[in-house]
Protein backbone atom coordinates (compact mmCIF):
# COMPACT_ATOMS: atom_id res chain seq x y z
CA UNK A 1 0.00 0.00 0.00
CA UNK A 2 1.20 3.48 -0.87
CA UNK A 3 -0.05 6.64 0.86
CA UNK A 4 0.69 10.03 -0.68
CA UNK A 5 -0.04 13.42 0.86
CA UNK A 6 0.22 16.63 -1.14
CA UNK A 7 0.17 19.82 0.91
CA UNK A 8 0.09 23.13 -0.95
CA UNK A 9 -0.48 26.80 -0.24
CA UNK A 10 0.50 28.48 2.97
CA UNK A 11 2.41 31.72 3.07
CA UNK A 12 5.25 30.02 1.19
CA UNK A 13 2.98 28.73 -1.57
CA UNK A 14 5.10 25.61 -1.85
CA UNK A 15 3.88 22.14 -2.83
CA UNK A 16 5.13 19.44 -0.46
CA UNK A 17 4.59 15.82 -1.49
CA UNK A 18 5.30 13.03 0.98
CA UNK A 19 4.95 9.38 0.02
CA UNK A 20 4.97 6.35 2.32
CA UNK A 21 5.13 2.79 0.99
CA UNK A 22 4.32 -0.07 3.36
CA UNK A 23 6.85 -2.16 1.44
CA UNK A 24 9.53 -0.04 3.15
CA UNK A 25 8.05 -0.11 6.67
CA UNK A 26 8.53 -2.47 9.58
CA UNK A 27 5.56 -4.39 10.98
CA UNK A 28 4.73 -1.84 13.70
CA UNK A 29 4.72 1.12 11.34
CA UNK A 30 2.71 -0.84 8.77
CA UNK A 31 0.11 -1.68 11.42
CA UNK A 32 -0.09 1.96 12.51
CA UNK A 33 -0.51 3.20 8.95
CA UNK A 34 -3.07 0.53 8.07
CA UNK A 35 -5.08 1.40 11.16
CA UNK A 36 -5.08 5.08 10.26
CA UNK A 37 -6.09 4.35 6.66
CA UNK A 38 -8.91 2.06 7.80
CA UNK A 39 -10.17 4.81 10.14
CA UNK A 40 -10.08 7.45 7.42
CA UNK A 41 -13.21 8.36 5.49
CA UNK A 42 -13.10 9.23 1.79
CA UNK A 43 -16.45 10.90 1.25
CA UNK A 44 -17.97 11.02 -2.22
CA UNK A 45 -19.01 14.59 -1.50
CA UNK A 46 -16.06 16.74 -0.46
CA UNK A 47 -16.22 18.41 2.96
CA UNK A 48 -17.45 21.97 3.17
CA UNK A 49 -15.14 24.07 1.05
CA UNK A 50 -12.63 26.25 2.81
CA UNK A 51 -11.20 27.61 -0.41
CA UNK A 52 -10.62 31.30 -0.50
CA UNK A 53 -8.84 31.72 2.84
CA UNK A 54 -5.52 33.32 2.12
CA UNK A 55 -2.42 31.28 2.94
CA UNK A 56 -4.07 28.30 4.58
CA UNK A 57 -3.06 24.83 3.42
CA UNK A 58 -4.89 22.66 0.89
CA UNK A 59 -4.40 18.90 0.86
CA UNK A 60 -4.72 15.86 -1.35
CA UNK A 61 -4.62 12.44 0.30
CA UNK A 62 -4.32 9.34 -1.90
CA UNK A 63 -4.20 5.70 -0.83
CA UNK A 64 -3.20 3.11 -3.42
CA UNK A 65 -3.88 -0.52 -2.45
CA UNK A 66 -1.92 -3.47 -3.71
CA UNK A 67 -4.67 -4.27 -6.22
CA UNK A 68 -4.20 -0.84 -7.79
CA UNK A 69 -7.40 0.66 -6.38
CA UNK A 70 -6.93 4.31 -5.43
CA UNK A 71 -9.00 6.34 -2.98
CA UNK A 72 -8.50 10.05 -2.96
CA UNK A 73 -9.67 13.02 -0.88
CA UNK A 74 -9.02 16.73 -1.35
CA UNK A 75 -9.77 19.22 1.39
CA UNK A 76 -8.76 22.52 2.88
CA UNK A 77 -7.17 23.14 6.25
CA UNK A 78 -9.72 22.63 8.99
CA UNK A 79 -12.12 20.72 6.74
CA UNK A 80 -10.56 17.25 6.72
CA UNK A 81 -12.95 14.29 6.55
CA UNK A 82 -13.01 12.09 9.67
CA UNK A 83 -9.69 10.36 10.25
CA UNK A 84 -7.83 12.26 7.55
CA UNK A 85 -6.06 14.71 9.85
CA UNK A 86 -4.45 11.92 11.87
CA UNK A 87 -3.35 10.10 8.73
CA UNK A 88 -1.96 13.25 7.12
CA UNK A 89 -0.07 14.16 10.28
CA UNK A 90 1.44 10.65 10.54
CA UNK A 91 2.64 10.80 6.94
CA UNK A 92 3.88 14.41 6.95
CA UNK A 93 5.53 14.50 10.35
CA UNK A 94 6.72 10.93 10.69
CA UNK A 95 10.14 9.59 9.73
CA UNK A 96 8.94 7.18 7.05
CA UNK A 97 8.08 9.39 4.09
CA UNK A 98 9.92 10.40 0.96
CA UNK A 99 9.63 14.19 0.79
CA UNK A 100 9.71 16.37 -2.29
CA UNK A 101 9.17 20.11 -2.76
CA UNK A 102 7.79 21.13 -6.13
CA UNK A 103 4.66 21.05 -8.25
CA UNK B 1 -26.53 39.58 8.43
CA UNK B 2 -28.19 42.64 6.93
CA UNK B 3 -31.54 41.89 8.60
CA UNK B 4 -29.70 41.26 11.81
CA UNK B 5 -28.12 44.67 11.96
CA UNK B 6 -31.32 46.54 12.75
CA UNK B 7 -32.12 44.24 15.61
CA UNK B 8 -28.57 44.38 16.85
CA UNK B 9 -28.59 48.15 16.78
CA UNK B 10 -31.76 48.11 18.82
CA UNK B 11 -30.22 45.72 21.30
CA UNK B 12 -27.09 47.88 21.50
CA UNK B 13 -29.20 50.84 22.52
CA UNK B 14 -30.77 48.66 25.21
CA UNK B 15 -27.34 47.64 26.58
CA UNK B 16 -28.86 44.84 28.57
CA UNK B 17 -27.29 41.50 29.30
CA UNK B 18 -29.88 38.91 30.14
CA UNK B 19 -27.94 35.66 30.29
CA UNK B 20 -24.38 34.38 30.61
CA UNK B 21 -22.55 33.70 27.32
CA UNK B 22 -22.36 29.96 27.97
CA UNK B 23 -26.13 29.73 28.18
CA UNK B 24 -26.58 31.90 25.10
CA UNK B 25 -24.17 29.71 23.15
CA UNK B 26 -26.16 26.62 24.08
CA UNK B 27 -29.36 28.31 22.97
CA UNK B 28 -27.72 29.48 19.75
CA UNK B 29 -26.55 25.97 18.97
CA UNK B 30 -29.53 23.93 20.07
CA UNK B 31 -32.52 26.22 20.06
CA UNK B 32 -35.11 26.74 17.38
CA UNK B 33 -34.48 29.22 14.61
CA UNK B 34 -35.93 32.26 16.38
CA UNK B 35 -34.26 31.43 19.67
CA UNK B 36 -30.99 30.80 17.87
CA UNK B 37 -31.11 34.17 16.09
CA UNK B 38 -32.00 36.04 19.26
CA UNK B 39 -29.27 34.32 21.28
CA UNK B 40 -26.67 34.93 18.58
CA UNK B 41 -27.58 38.61 18.32
CA UNK B 42 -27.38 39.06 22.06
CA UNK B 43 -24.06 37.25 22.22
CA UNK B 44 -22.49 39.39 19.53
CA UNK B 45 -23.74 42.64 20.95
CA UNK B 46 -22.78 41.87 24.52
CA UNK B 47 -19.35 40.73 23.39
CA UNK B 48 -18.91 43.83 21.25
CA UNK B 49 -19.87 46.09 24.12
CA UNK B 50 -17.78 44.22 26.62
CA UNK B 51 -14.58 43.73 24.69
CA UNK B 52 -14.83 45.91 21.60
CA UNK B 53 -14.96 44.40 18.13
CA UNK B 54 -11.99 42.24 18.64
CA UNK B 55 -12.10 39.16 20.48
CA UNK B 56 -15.25 38.09 18.76
CA UNK B 57 -13.28 35.79 16.49
CA UNK B 58 -14.22 32.51 18.09
CA UNK B 59 -17.90 33.41 18.32
CA UNK B 60 -18.00 34.69 14.75
CA UNK B 61 -16.24 31.61 13.36
CA UNK B 62 -18.66 29.38 15.19
CA UNK B 63 -21.48 30.83 13.14
CA UNK B 64 -19.63 31.33 9.86
CA UNK B 65 -19.47 35.11 10.20
CA UNK B 66 -16.62 37.60 9.89
CA UNK B 67 -15.86 41.01 11.41
CA UNK B 68 -17.24 42.52 8.21
CA UNK B 69 -20.68 41.44 9.44
CA UNK B 70 -20.26 43.88 12.33
CA UNK B 71 -19.61 46.86 10.08
CA UNK B 72 -22.68 48.60 11.45
CA UNK B 73 -21.18 48.79 14.93
CA UNK B 74 -19.61 52.13 15.80
CA UNK B 75 -15.91 52.46 15.00
CA UNK B 76 -13.60 52.64 17.95
CA UNK B 77 -12.39 56.01 19.06
CA UNK B 78 -9.22 56.70 17.01
CA UNK B 79 -7.46 58.11 20.04
CA UNK B 80 -7.38 54.76 21.73
CA UNK B 81 -5.92 52.85 18.76
CA UNK B 82 -6.31 49.13 18.37
CA UNK B 83 -5.63 46.79 21.23
CA UNK B 84 -2.77 44.39 20.49
CA UNK B 85 -3.19 41.00 22.12
CA UNK B 86 -1.27 37.75 21.72
CA UNK B 87 -2.59 34.34 22.70
CA UNK B 88 -0.84 30.99 23.15
CA UNK B 89 -2.58 28.21 21.22
CA UNK B 90 -0.30 25.70 23.02
CA UNK B 91 -0.16 23.35 20.06
CA UNK B 92 -3.92 23.35 19.60
CA UNK B 93 -5.82 23.47 16.34
CA UNK B 94 -8.52 25.74 14.91
CA UNK B 95 -11.03 24.99 17.64
CA UNK B 96 -8.45 26.06 20.25
CA UNK B 97 -8.10 29.56 18.84
CA UNK B 98 -7.34 32.11 20.05
CA UNK B 99 -5.93 30.23 23.08
CA UNK B 100 -4.68 31.57 26.41
CA UNK B 101 -4.10 35.31 26.62
CA UNK B 102 -0.39 35.89 27.27
CA UNK B 103 0.30 39.53 26.36
CA UNK B 104 -1.86 42.62 26.04
CA UNK B 105 -1.25 46.12 24.73
CA UNK B 106 0.33 47.51 27.85
CA UNK B 107 2.08 44.37 29.04
CA UNK B 108 5.88 43.99 29.07
CA UNK B 109 7.68 41.39 26.91
CA UNK B 110 7.04 37.83 28.01
CA UNK B 111 10.38 36.29 27.13
CA UNK B 112 8.65 33.90 24.72
CA UNK B 113 10.17 34.96 21.38
CA UNK B 114 7.13 33.96 19.32
CA UNK B 115 4.79 35.93 21.56
CA UNK B 116 6.95 39.02 21.60
CA UNK B 117 7.74 38.94 17.87
CA UNK B 118 4.06 38.51 16.96
CA UNK B 119 3.22 41.41 19.28
CA UNK B 120 5.94 43.68 17.90
CA UNK B 121 5.22 42.76 14.28
CA UNK B 122 1.51 43.48 14.62
CA UNK B 123 2.29 46.80 16.30
CA UNK B 124 4.81 47.76 13.61
CA UNK B 125 2.34 46.91 10.86
CA UNK B 126 -0.49 48.91 12.44
CA UNK B 127 1.91 51.82 13.01
CA UNK B 128 2.97 51.67 9.35
CA UNK B 129 -0.60 51.82 8.07
CA UNK B 130 -1.50 54.62 10.50
CA UNK B 131 1.56 56.83 9.98
CA UNK B 132 2.06 56.30 6.25
CA UNK B 133 -1.52 56.06 5.01
CA UNK B 134 -3.62 57.33 7.92
CA UNK B 135 -5.37 53.96 8.14
CA UNK B 136 -6.88 53.04 11.50
CA UNK B 137 -5.79 49.40 11.85
CA UNK B 138 -6.57 46.53 9.49
CA UNK B 139 -10.16 47.42 8.71
CA UNK B 140 -9.65 51.19 8.77
CA UNK B 141 -11.99 51.34 11.77
CA UNK B 142 -9.75 50.34 14.65
CA UNK B 143 -10.06 46.56 14.54
CA UNK B 144 -8.05 45.17 17.42
CA UNK B 145 -4.99 43.08 16.60
CA UNK B 146 -5.29 39.48 17.72
CA UNK B 147 -2.47 36.98 17.20
CA UNK B 148 -2.15 33.36 18.25
CA UNK B 149 1.24 31.64 18.37
CA UNK B 150 2.33 28.03 18.86
CA UNK B 151 -0.47 26.80 16.58
CA UNK B 152 -0.44 23.00 16.11
CA UNK B 153 2.92 21.16 16.27
CA UNK B 154 5.82 21.98 13.95
CA UNK B 155 3.30 23.87 11.84
CA UNK B 156 5.11 25.41 8.88
CA UNK B 157 2.80 28.31 8.21
CA UNK B 158 1.23 31.59 9.25
CA UNK B 159 -2.18 32.78 8.11
CA UNK B 160 -4.95 35.32 8.57
CA UNK B 161 -8.25 33.66 9.51
CA UNK B 162 -10.44 36.58 8.56
CA UNK B 163 -10.29 38.08 12.03
CA UNK B 164 -6.92 37.20 13.55
CA UNK B 165 -3.33 36.12 12.88
CA UNK B 166 -2.13 32.57 13.48
CA UNK B 167 1.50 31.44 13.60
CA UNK B 168 3.01 27.99 13.73
CA UNK B 169 6.41 27.31 15.24
CA UNK B 170 7.97 26.08 11.98
CA UNK B 171 10.53 23.32 12.16
CA UNK B 172 8.50 20.98 9.97
CA UNK B 173 11.09 20.92 7.18
CA UNK B 174 10.13 24.13 5.37
CA UNK B 175 10.72 26.90 7.93
CA UNK B 176 13.42 27.08 10.53
CA UNK B 177 12.06 26.86 14.09
CA UNK B 178 10.74 30.27 15.10
CA UNK B 179 11.13 31.64 11.58
CA UNK B 180 7.54 32.59 10.95
CA UNK B 181 7.33 35.21 13.69
CA UNK B 182 10.90 36.36 13.13
CA UNK B 183 10.06 37.87 9.73
CA UNK B 184 8.34 41.25 9.89
CA UNK B 185 7.57 40.91 6.17
CA UNK B 186 5.65 37.68 6.82
CA UNK B 187 3.67 39.25 9.66
CA UNK B 188 2.85 42.33 7.57
CA UNK B 189 2.05 40.11 4.56
CA UNK B 190 -0.56 38.23 6.54
CA UNK B 191 -2.07 41.31 8.17
CA UNK B 192 -2.30 42.89 4.72
CA UNK B 193 -4.56 40.00 3.69
CA UNK B 194 -6.84 41.53 6.31
CA UNK B 195 -6.49 44.99 4.77
CA UNK B 196 -7.40 43.50 1.37
CA UNK B 197 -10.35 41.67 2.93
CA UNK B 198 -11.72 44.97 4.23
CA UNK B 199 -10.98 46.99 1.08
CA UNK B 200 -10.79 45.61 -2.48
CA UNK B 201 -11.82 42.13 -1.34
CA UNK B 202 -9.84 40.52 -4.14
CA UNK B 203 -11.13 37.01 -4.80
CA UNK B 204 -8.54 34.40 -3.88
CA UNK B 205 -8.34 32.65 -7.24
CA UNK B 206 -6.65 33.25 -10.56
CA UNK B 207 -5.29 36.72 -11.32
CA UNK B 208 -7.34 38.49 -8.64
CA UNK B 209 -5.92 36.00 -6.14
CA UNK B 210 -2.40 36.62 -7.42
CA UNK B 211 -3.01 40.35 -6.96
CA UNK B 212 -4.24 39.61 -3.43
CA UNK B 213 -0.98 37.78 -2.75
CA UNK B 214 1.08 40.49 -4.42
CA UNK B 215 -0.44 43.35 -2.40
CA UNK B 216 0.48 41.36 0.72
CA UNK B 217 4.05 40.94 -0.49
CA UNK B 218 4.29 44.62 -1.49
CA UNK B 219 3.12 45.99 1.85
CA UNK B 220 4.92 43.20 3.70
CA UNK B 221 8.28 44.38 2.37
CA UNK B 222 7.34 48.06 2.69
CA UNK B 223 6.66 47.62 6.40
CA UNK B 224 10.08 45.96 6.66
CA UNK B 225 11.75 48.66 4.55
CA UNK B 226 10.35 51.45 6.69
CA UNK B 227 11.23 49.71 9.94
CA UNK B 228 14.82 49.29 8.75
CA UNK B 229 15.14 52.58 6.81
CA UNK B 230 15.87 50.62 3.64
CA UNK B 231 15.62 52.46 0.34
CA UNK B 232 14.48 51.00 -2.96
CA UNK B 233 17.97 50.87 -4.45
CA UNK B 234 19.60 48.95 -1.63
CA UNK B 235 16.61 46.72 -0.81
CA UNK B 236 16.98 43.00 -1.46
CA UNK B 237 13.29 42.78 -2.48
CA UNK B 238 13.22 39.38 -0.79
CA UNK B 239 10.12 38.32 1.15
CA UNK B 240 10.84 36.23 4.22
CA UNK B 241 14.60 36.35 4.00
CA UNK B 242 16.50 33.81 6.10
CA UNK B 243 13.55 31.93 7.54
CA UNK B 244 13.39 28.93 5.20
CA UNK B 245 15.16 25.71 6.02
CA UNK B 246 18.64 26.25 4.57
CA UNK B 247 18.26 23.17 2.37
CA UNK B 248 15.55 25.02 0.43
CA UNK B 249 17.02 28.46 -0.08
CA UNK B 250 17.21 32.02 1.09
CA UNK B 251 13.68 33.45 0.95
CA UNK B 252 10.04 32.82 0.08
CA UNK B 253 9.94 35.16 -2.88
CA UNK B 254 12.18 37.53 -4.80
CA UNK B 255 10.16 40.50 -6.02
CA UNK B 256 12.76 41.92 -8.38
CA UNK B 257 13.81 38.52 -9.78
CA UNK B 258 10.82 36.19 -9.39
CA UNK B 259 11.64 32.50 -9.57
CA UNK B 260 15.01 32.77 -7.83
CA UNK B 261 14.12 32.83 -4.13
CA UNK B 262 14.50 29.11 -3.34
CA UNK B 263 15.19 25.78 -4.96
CA UNK B 264 11.99 24.96 -6.86
CA UNK B 265 10.69 28.54 -6.97
CA UNK B 266 8.51 28.59 -10.09
CA UNK B 267 7.31 32.19 -10.09
CA UNK B 268 7.31 33.72 -13.59
CA UNK B 269 9.14 37.01 -14.11
CA UNK B 270 6.76 38.23 -16.83
CA UNK B 271 3.60 37.36 -18.75
CA UNK B 272 5.50 35.27 -21.28
CA UNK B 273 5.98 32.66 -18.53
CA UNK B 274 2.51 33.12 -16.97
CA UNK B 275 1.29 29.88 -15.38
CA UNK B 276 -2.24 29.33 -16.69
CA UNK B 277 -3.58 26.98 -14.02
CA UNK B 278 -7.21 26.11 -13.26
CA UNK B 279 -8.68 27.33 -9.97
CA UNK B 280 -9.94 23.87 -9.08
CA UNK B 281 -9.70 21.62 -6.02
CA UNK B 282 -6.26 20.23 -6.94
CA UNK B 283 -3.94 21.77 -4.35
CA UNK B 284 -1.07 21.72 -6.86
CA UNK B 285 -2.88 24.34 -8.91
CA UNK B 286 -2.66 26.90 -6.11
CA UNK B 287 -6.18 28.31 -6.62
CA UNK B 288 -5.20 29.17 -10.16
CA UNK B 289 -1.63 30.17 -9.41
CA UNK B 290 -2.14 32.77 -6.69
CA UNK B 291 1.33 32.25 -5.18
CA UNK B 292 2.92 31.63 -8.58
CA UNK B 293 1.77 34.44 -10.83
CA UNK B 294 1.97 36.98 -7.99
CA UNK B 295 5.60 37.28 -9.06
CA UNK B 296 4.47 39.32 -12.06
CA UNK B 297 2.78 42.23 -10.21
CA UNK B 298 5.46 41.94 -7.51
CA UNK B 299 8.15 42.66 -10.05
CA UNK B 300 6.13 45.48 -11.64
CA UNK B 301 6.08 47.21 -8.24
CA UNK B 302 9.75 46.58 -7.50
CA UNK B 303 10.84 47.79 -10.95
CA UNK B 304 8.81 51.00 -10.56
CA UNK B 305 10.22 51.57 -7.08
CA UNK B 306 13.78 51.03 -8.23
CA UNK B 307 13.30 53.43 -11.13
CA UNK B 308 12.16 56.18 -8.78
CA UNK B 309 14.65 55.37 -6.02
CA UNK B 310 14.23 56.68 -2.49
CA UNK B 311 11.76 55.25 -0.02
CA UNK B 312 9.36 52.94 -1.79
CA UNK B 313 6.71 53.41 0.89
CA UNK B 314 6.66 57.11 -0.02
CA UNK B 315 6.95 56.79 -3.81
CA UNK B 316 5.10 53.86 -5.34
CA UNK B 317 3.59 52.58 -2.08
CA UNK B 318 0.90 55.31 -1.87
CA UNK B 319 -0.17 54.55 -5.45
CA UNK B 320 -0.61 50.85 -4.71
CA UNK B 321 -2.38 51.69 -1.44
CA UNK B 322 -4.89 53.96 -3.20
CA UNK B 323 -5.49 51.24 -5.81
CA UNK B 324 -6.11 48.63 -3.10
CA UNK B 325 -8.31 50.71 -0.83
CA UNK B 326 -9.79 53.43 -3.03
CA UNK B 327 -12.89 51.52 -4.07
CA UNK B 328 -12.10 51.29 -7.76
CA UNK B 329 -10.39 47.87 -7.91
CA UNK B 330 -12.97 45.14 -8.52
CA UNK B 331 -12.83 41.93 -6.46
CA UNK B 332 -12.31 40.02 -9.71
CA UNK B 333 -9.72 42.44 -11.15
CA UNK B 334 -7.06 40.96 -13.43
CA UNK B 335 -3.50 42.17 -13.91
CA UNK B 336 -4.42 44.48 -16.80
CA UNK B 337 -7.18 46.18 -14.80
CA UNK B 338 -4.91 46.66 -11.80
CA UNK B 339 -2.09 47.94 -13.98
CA UNK B 340 -4.35 50.45 -15.72
CA UNK B 341 -5.62 51.69 -12.35
CA UNK B 342 -2.10 52.17 -10.98
CA UNK B 343 -1.25 54.31 -14.02
CA UNK B 344 -4.45 56.32 -13.54
CA UNK B 345 -3.80 56.84 -9.82
CA UNK B 346 -0.17 57.80 -10.47
CA UNK B 347 -1.42 60.44 -12.90
CA UNK B 348 -3.96 61.73 -10.38
CA UNK B 349 -1.43 61.96 -7.57
CA UNK B 350 1.64 63.18 -9.41
CA UNK B 351 0.37 64.42 -12.77
CA UNK B 352 0.07 62.93 -16.23
CA UNK B 353 3.47 62.07 -17.70
CA UNK B 354 5.08 62.60 -14.30
CA UNK B 355 8.19 60.61 -13.42
CA UNK B 356 6.06 58.56 -11.04
CA UNK B 357 3.51 57.69 -13.70
CA UNK B 358 6.26 56.81 -16.17
CA UNK B 359 7.92 54.57 -13.57
CA UNK B 360 4.67 52.75 -12.89
CA UNK B 361 4.05 52.32 -16.59
CA UNK B 362 7.63 51.06 -16.99
CA UNK B 363 7.14 48.53 -14.21
CA UNK B 364 4.17 46.93 -15.95
CA UNK B 365 5.89 47.08 -19.32
CA UNK B 366 8.87 45.21 -17.84
CA UNK B 367 6.58 42.32 -16.93
CA UNK B 368 4.69 42.53 -20.24
CA UNK B 369 1.27 43.31 -18.82
CA UNK B 370 -0.77 45.09 -21.47
CA UNK B 371 -1.54 48.72 -20.61
CA UNK B 372 -3.90 51.23 -22.20
CA UNK B 373 -2.07 53.20 -24.92
CA UNK B 374 0.06 56.09 -23.67
CA UNK B 375 -1.71 59.21 -25.00
CA UNK B 376 1.59 60.96 -25.65
Instruction: Please answer whether residues B48 and B70 qualify as being in contact, where contact means their C-beta atoms are separated by less than 8 angstroms.
Output: yes
Task: Based on the fold, state whether residues B143 and B249 are members of the same structural domain.
Answer: no
How many domains in chain A? 1
What are the tens digits of pLDDT across the range B40-73?
A: 665 565 555 444 444 455 566 566 666 666 665 5
Are the beta carbons of A101 and B205 separated by less than 8 Å?
no
Task: Based on the fold, state whether residues B10 and B90 are members of the same structural domain.
Answer: no
B327 min Cα distance to partner chain A (Å): 21
Q: Which residues of B touch A51 (CB under 8 A)?
A: 204-205, 281, 287
Q: Is the ipTM above a cut-off of 0.90?
A: yes
How many domains in chain B? 3
**Structural domain includes residue B47:** yes
Instruction: Please answer whether residues B88 and B99 qualify as being in contact, where contact means their C-beta atoms are separated by less than 8 angstroms.
Output: yes
**Structural domain includes residue B290:** yes
Q: Which residues of B touch A90 (CB under 8 A)?
A: none
β-strands B165-167, B145-149 pairing: parallel
Compare all CA atoms of chain B with the CA of A6 and give the residue at the minimum distance. B283
Task: Based on the fold, state whether residues B45 and B88 are members of the same structural domain.
Answer: no
Instruction: Tell me which of B147, B182, B217 is where a domain ends.
Output: B182
Instruction: Report the Cα–Cα distance between both ends of chain A, in Å, rounded.
Output: 23
Instruction: Please answer whether residues B302 and B236 qualify as being in contact, where contact means their C-beta atoms are separated by less than 8 angstroms.
Output: no
Instruction: Please answer whether residues B350 and B356 qualify as being in contact, where contact means their C-beta atoms are separated by less than 8 angstroms.
Output: yes
Q: What is the pLDDT of residue B67?
A: 61
> Residue B336 sits in a domain of what CATH number?
1.10.390.10
pLDDT class for A53, splitting at 50, 70, 90? confident
Are the beta carbons of A11 and B158 separated by less than 8 Å?
yes
- Out of A11, A74, A102, whose CB is closest to B159? A11
The verdict on A43 touching B (C-beta cutoff 8 Å) is no
d(C-alpha A39, C-alpha B98), whole Å: 29
Domain that holds residue A6: 2-101
Domain that holds residue B38: 2-51
Q: What is the pLDDT of residue B81?
A: 73
Compare all CA atoms of chain A with the CA of B248 and give the residue at the minimum distance. A101
* Strand runs labelled E in chain A: 2-9, 16-21, 57-64, 70-76, 98-101
Interface mutation target, options A5, A9, A12, chain B, most CBs of B under 10 Å: A12
Task: Based on the fold, state whether residues B292 and B340 are members of the same structural domain.
Answer: yes
Task: Based on the fold, state whether residues B265 and B302 are members of the same structural domain.
Answer: yes
Are the beta carbons of B159 and A55 separated by less than 8 Å?
yes
pLDDT class for A44, splitting at 50, 70, 90? confident
What are the tens digits of pLDDT across the range B312-343?
A: 999 999 999 999 999 999 999 999 999 999 99
Give the count of Cβ contacts less than 8 A between chain A and B.
Answer: 104
Instruction: Please answer whether residues B100 and B90 qualify as being in contact, where contact means their C-beta atoms are separated by less than 8 angstroms.
Output: yes
**Structural domain includes residue B69:** no
**Structural domain includes residue B344:** yes
Task: Based on the fold, state whether residues B232 and B353 are members of the same structural domain.
Answer: yes
> Residue B106 sits in a domain of what CATH number?
3.10.170.10
The verdict on A48 touching B (C-beta cutoff 8 Å) is no
Considering only residues B20 and A34, tell me which one the structure prediction assigns the higher pLDDT.
A34
d(C-alpha B59, C-alpha A31), whole Å: 40
Q: What is the C-alpha radius of gyration for chain A, rounded to an integer number of angstroms? A: 13
Task: Based on the fold, state whether residues B171 and B210 are members of the same structural domain.
Answer: no
> What is the DSSP secondary structure assignment for residue B112, as one 8-state letter?
-
Task: Based on the fold, state whether residues B341 and B211 are members of the same structural domain.
Answer: yes
The DSSP bridge partners found for residue A61 are A5, A73
Task: Based on the fold, state whether residues B170 and B237 are members of the same structural domain.
Answer: no
B357 min Cα distance to partner chain A (Å): 30
Instruction: Tell me which of B132, B150, B182 is where a domain ends.
Output: B182
Amino acid sequence: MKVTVVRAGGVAGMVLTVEVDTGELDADATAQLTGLVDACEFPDVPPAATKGRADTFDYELAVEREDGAVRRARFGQGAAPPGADALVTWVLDGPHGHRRIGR
Amino acid sequence: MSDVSGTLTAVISCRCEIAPPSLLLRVAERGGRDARDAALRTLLVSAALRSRRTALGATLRRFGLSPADLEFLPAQAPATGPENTVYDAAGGEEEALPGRRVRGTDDPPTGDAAVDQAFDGAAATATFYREVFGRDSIDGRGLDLVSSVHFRRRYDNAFWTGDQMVYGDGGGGVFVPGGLTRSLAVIAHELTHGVTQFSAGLEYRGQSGALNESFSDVFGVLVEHRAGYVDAASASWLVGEGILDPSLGGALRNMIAPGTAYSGDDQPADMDAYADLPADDDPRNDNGGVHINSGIPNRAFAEAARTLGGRAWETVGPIWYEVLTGGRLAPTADFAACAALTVTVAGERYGESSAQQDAVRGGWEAVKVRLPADPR
